[in-house]
Each structure stands twice: as C-alpha cells, then as structure tokens.
Amino acid sequence: MRSKYRPLQVDEDSVRTMLETGYGYVPDAWNETLEMPITAEELKTEAFKGDSKKIAPKRRYRTGVL
C-alpha cells in the first residue's frame, strides 16, 4: 500500500492560482439555498443513490429497489 499511494509533486504557484481563480464569493441568489438544512432522509437518499442493477439481490429486496 505504501508504494501505491505516495505524495504527489505539486507546483505551489499552480495551486495558489487555482484557489484565487475559484469562486471568491457566493452570489446572493445562492444564500437561501445554501442555508437550507439537509434532512436525514435527503442525506440517506443521496448516500445510497445508485444504479439498482449494482445492488446485490438480498439488499435489493430489503431496500425495496427492484
């Protein structure tokens, strides 16, 4: 595992430029959406979202995904 994952060589100036170029502010139109809380049900739905064909048959039965 140690040989598989090693630190990457990164140009510091490129990283700095990338950070400075990104969104420096959030548009006012986004504030209301960003302040809305995420419900537990929404989180669960998104976390387990995926193609039902990739779910094992037993799990498909338990989750109700056919």
Would you kindly state where each structural domain of the chain is located, as residue ranges? 12-63
Whether the pLDDT of residue 23 is over 60: the answer is yes
Contacts of 55 (CB under 8 A, 6+ apart): 63, 65
The pLDDT value given to residue 63: 53
Most confident region among 25-29, 36-40, 48-52 by mean pLDDT: 36-40
Alpha-carbon distance of 24 to 2, in angstroms, equals: 36
- Rounded average pLDDT over 23-39: 83
pLDDT greater than 80 at residue 38: yes
Distance CA 6, CA 17 (A): 24
Category of 47 on φ-ψ map: left (φ > 0), alpha (ψ -120 to 50) or beta: alpha
pTM score over 0.85: no
> In this model, does residue 40 exceed pLDDT 60?
yes
